[in-house]
A and B are shown apart, each in its own frame.
Chain A
Amino acid sequence: MGKTTGFLEYKRQDNRELPEKERIRNYHEFHQPLSQEERQEQAARCMNCGVPYCQWGKPIGRMVAGCPLNNLVPEFNDALYRSNRKQALERLLLTNNFPEFTSRVCPALCEKACTCGLNDEPVATKDNEYDIIESAFANGEMKPVKITGRSDKNVVVVGSGPSGLACADQLNKRGHHVTVMEKSDRFGGLLMYGIPNMKLEKEVVNRRIDLMEKEGVQFLSSSPIETKAQADALKKKFDAVVLCCGSQKPRSLAVEGIESEGIHFAVDFLTASTMSQLDHCEPAFSAKHAHVVIVGGGDTGNDCVGTCIRQGCTDVVQLEMMPEPPLERRENNPWPEWPLVKKTDYGQKEAIAVFGHDPRIYETSIAQIYSEKGRITAVDIVKVKMVRSEDGRMTMQQVEGTIEHLPCDLLLIAAGFLGCSDTVVKAFSLKTVRGNAEADNFHIEGNLFTAGDMHRGQSLVVHAIAEGRKCAEEVDRYLTKY
């Protein structure tokens, strides 16, 4: 095991960030890795727990504690501490197909459940993971794996998001012939267009697609499946069809005037922004010189804040319906549960640096939209509170006399997703439960499978990879009969 007293000797050191005002000048990643000595110290902080909650990945209450991929955190931390990078990489890749994605975008469930975090700062596992995988890429150790013993089975994965890619990778490495179909022009799903470049450089996504292509996965872009005929043809042509189409139906607002121009869903906004950067052109619409209001206080909302600032917005507010969370864990939310605490993410930090105040307003929603000539000009925001209605359900109620008027040229809705898109549901005649594709252990019917957000509803990249892996296992069992 690693250094037994490491956690007492070294303090946690995160990867350093470029100053906010500097990094908003471009869309590049802004974290700077530690030196090798510093990294080794960070790895030495791991306590190699007898019961490592970091790799547990089971729900406590409604939230998962520990890594859903069951990443062998103590093992790779130990190997890193001992400078055995080969072993660290091996143990990391054993459970995680794409550490380069998770080490950038994951909210690090492992660290929230880290025993070191009970009385101190948790081990910097996410940054350690980043270091392992990025130095492997830099040193040319991430070479295409030669797949031996090919089967005669053909599988198509519809959707190239994290679950689709993980599923394809697993099935390919198992020897099946895998084709990945993507409706957009570029691969990666939300990894490509949902997550802004400063959080996940698109080169990193392409690097992985290239690697998988060299390993034998076929990628088809701009290939949407929209009709029943197309769907049937797929089911006939391939031995198994895996649907990883995500949870694409965004939740809208029930406010009059929502159809006005200048009101967009967050994902559309982020897509337009990333697309313009990659195509080196102006985005279809942007936040430049705009008063921006973002509805939704989650990670996507934060990504929108960061993107708006880079596009040069005049100002930005982010509305959240729920009350402001505490800075420390509440008594009824103890370690190793997922902590329901206030987290100020990169976008919000940038907003504070640029505009001098936190963009977030809590317990607030949109009451009214004002538009001129079909274009939004302003909004009324109002305080809301949760009230238990007569039938016992919690509902949102506006608080009288709390209306505030805000100028608004761009209203972005980042209020979550309701389930998979109607097009796919119709084409494949799917049954849905709460908007998600209904399946028995990833198996829909016949040779049809599903995984990822489409199956479990909107969630984290790490959950999507876990879903893709588990689904691949089921598909493999179905194809090989053992």
Chain B
Amino acid sequence: MNGLRDKVVLETDGKLMCGRDVAVAVLLGAEEFGFATAPLVAMGCVMMRVCNLDTCPVGVATQNPELRKRFIGKPEHVVNFMKFIAEDLRGYMAQLGFRTVDEMIGHTECLHKKEYPADSPLARIDLTSMLAKEVEEDSYAKKNIFDFKLSQTKDMKLFDDACQNALQLQKPWHVSLEVNNRDRAFGTLLGSRITRTYPHGMPDDRFVIDCHGNGGQSFGAFIPKGLTLNLKGDANDYFGKGLSGGILALKTDDGSQLKADSNIVVGNVALYGATSGEAYINGVAGERFCVRNSGAQAVCEGCGDHGLEYMTGGTVLVLGETGRNFAAGMSGGIAYVYDPSNVLYKRLNAALVQMEYADSKHDQDMIKTMLENHVRRTCSQLAQNLLAHYEEEKDHFKVIIPTGYRDMIRLIKQNEEKGMTADEAQLEAFYTMKEAH
């Protein structure tokens, strides 16, 4: 065969309902098993197929509090079900003479095709290749596990005594180092240490790393609140992926002859799926900037095609031209764009969003704060100029907000003013919107 079998773990799913199903799957080579329907039924699902309608009559798939009262499932029901599956499987294993699931994997010789009369269409099904046994038997047992060489990453080298000490005593800690584009996901392991020690994060800028060079893929991915990465240079794709509270600041190298606001300094899909935190990019971002962002604040000086795609939350300030299809599928969050030559309307995908002048006080305050932060973090020349001539420039900012999101925010605010708690206000707004549609 192709020598790949020991490099993968095969999972199977699809109507696994009883021990026999699992036994057949194991014999065909599966090593892990996905169950969905049967455990759902064990906790009360009656297969109404209305999960999309918010009318689940047994309270499984619904937001309606009245219907959720009907939910009678307990974790024990699912545990019980899985016990029965295991017990059932053991019966088949005993009959076949296997002691463990591992030793049973891939024994297709235990499976036989059912006999059908010659005129039945089922008789024509040829299972030979499915039941063929061409994989080395021990290739299931021994797994050739890929070595990610995590111990040799730059992150691990950061964990010196000073770092440990700072982490333990919650003391500010600051280092400088060189990075290059082989350092993938720089900062992520350190971030995970911080999160594990302080699940609720630390004050901003408690731990600061100044980097110099070319950031590799996923630079600063998932970093938590309290960690700040300042990068002088540029970065590859996935910059700040899944940003979870940390702060990223990227500025062009001091020696660079390129003009920051007209050159791409960070690769595609920067801040993909970010949930919180801040990012300041002193330069133009690549394509799909902030795709699926749900809560982070970001500033950049221009972006490529499909910017802010599927964004559901957060605030983004773009100080330069955007690419095509801007804000496609954007259902939440707010974007401010500096658009002095009035070209944004041509680039915007207006299916879900609405473009207006950012002339409200709230918008102006927000833009100003973000500009100031941008200057503070990256010394951006462009941002400095805009602040210097703010009164002339302020009319060139546009605000882009999804219409549904705007209505929702308004309703929640109204409800909160009526004295509801945040949860109640949101739920009430949800039903008001639902009624309206």
Binding site for B on A (CB under 8 A): 4-5, 7-8, 47, 49-51, 115-116, 118-119
Contacts and interface: CB of A to CB of B under 8 A. Distances in A.
A119 B46 contact: no
What 6 A-B pairs come out closest when comparing CB atoms?
A: A50-B49, A51-B47, A119-B70, A50-B48, A4-B55, A50-B47
B50 A50 contact: yes
Contacts of A5: 55
Given A115-B46, A118-B46, A47 B55 contact: yes
B150 interface: no
Chain B interface residue number, banded: 10 to 19
17 contacts: A4-B50, A8-B66, A47-B48, A47-B57, A49-B48, A49-B49, A50-B47, A50-B48, A50-B49, A51-B46, A51-B48, A51-B49, A115-B48, A118-B57, A118-B58, A119-B58, A119-B70
Nearest to A335: B46
B43 to A, nearest CB: 14
A36 B66 CA distance: 29
B433 to A, nearest CB: 16
B53 interface: yes
A441 B53 CA distance: 43
Nearest to A116: B57
A111 to B, nearest CB: 15
Contacts of A8: 55, 66-67
Nearest to A5: B55
Nearest to B44: A118
B46 A4 contact: no
Interface string B209-233: 0000000000000000000000000
Contacts of A116: 57
A119 B68 CA distance: 12
Contacts of A49: 46-49
Given A4-B53, A47-B50, A47-B57, 15 more contacts: A4-B50, A5-B55, A8-B66, A47-B48, A49-B46, A49-B48, A50-B48, A51-B46, A51-B47, A51-B48, A51-B49, A115-B46, A115-B57, A118-B46, A119-B57
Contacts, number: 35
A50 B45 CA distance: 11
Nearest to A7: B57
B140 to A, nearest CB: 37
A118 B67 CA distance: 12
Interface of B: 46-50, 53, 55, 57-58, 66-67, 70
Q: Is the interface of B mostly helix, strand, loop or mixed?
A: loop
Contacts of B57: 7, 47, 115-116, 118-119
Contacts of A51: 46-49
Contacts of B67: 8
Contacts of B70: 119
Contacts of B58: 118-119
Q: Is the interface of A mostly helix, strand, loop or mixed?
A: loop
A371 B67 CA distance: 62
Contacts of A119: 57-58, 70
Contacts of B46: 49, 51, 115, 118
A4 B57 CA distance: 11
B412 to A, nearest CB: 24
Contacts of B48: 47, 49-51, 115
A94 B49 CA distance: 25
Nearest to B41: A51
B58 to A, nearest CB: 7
Contacts of A118: 46, 57-58
Contacts of A7: 55, 57
B55, B66, B70: most-surrounded residue (chain A CB, <10 A): B55
B17 to A, nearest CB: 14
A117 to B, nearest CB: 10
A9 to B, nearest CB: 11
A49 B57 CA distance: 10
Contacts of B53: 4
Nearest to B47: A51
A78 to B, nearest CB: 14
A182 to B, nearest CB: 42
Contacts of A4: 50, 53, 55
Contacts of B50: 4, 47, 50
A437 to B, nearest CB: 30
Nearest to A3: B55
Contacts of B66: 8
Nearest to B72: A119
A49 B45 CA distance: 12
Nearest to A53: B46
A39 to B, nearest CB: 22
A316 B390 CA distance: 98
A241 B53 CA distance: 52
Nearest to B64: A8
Contacts of A47: 48, 50, 55, 57
A115 B70 CA distance: 13
Contacts of A115: 46, 48, 57
Nearest to A6: B55
A302 B49 CA distance: 40
A51 B37 CA distance: 13
B54 to A, nearest CB: 8
Contacts of B55: 4-5, 7-8, 47
A46 to B, nearest CB: 12
A364 B66 CA distance: 45
Contacts of A50: 47-50
A5 B50 CA distance: 11
A8 B68 CA distance: 13
A392 B47 CA distance: 40
B47 to A, nearest CB: 4
Nearest to B66: A8
B47, B53, B57, B70: most-surrounded residue (chain A CB, <10 A): B57
A159 to B, nearest CB: 36
A47 B47 CA distance: 12
A47 B48 CA distance: 8
A227 B25 CA distance: 62
B66 to A, nearest CB: 7
B410 to A, nearest CB: 26
B255 to A, nearest CB: 65
A8 to B, nearest CB: 7
A8 B55 CA distance: 9
A4 B64 CA distance: 13
Contacts of B47: 49-51
Nearest to A51: B47
Nearest to A119: B70
B67 to A, nearest CB: 8
Contacts of B49: 49-51
Nearest to A49: B48
B80 to A, nearest CB: 15
A122 to B, nearest CB: 12
A116 B67 CA distance: 12
A481 B49 CA distance: 41
A56 B57 CA distance: 19
B302 to A, nearest CB: 46
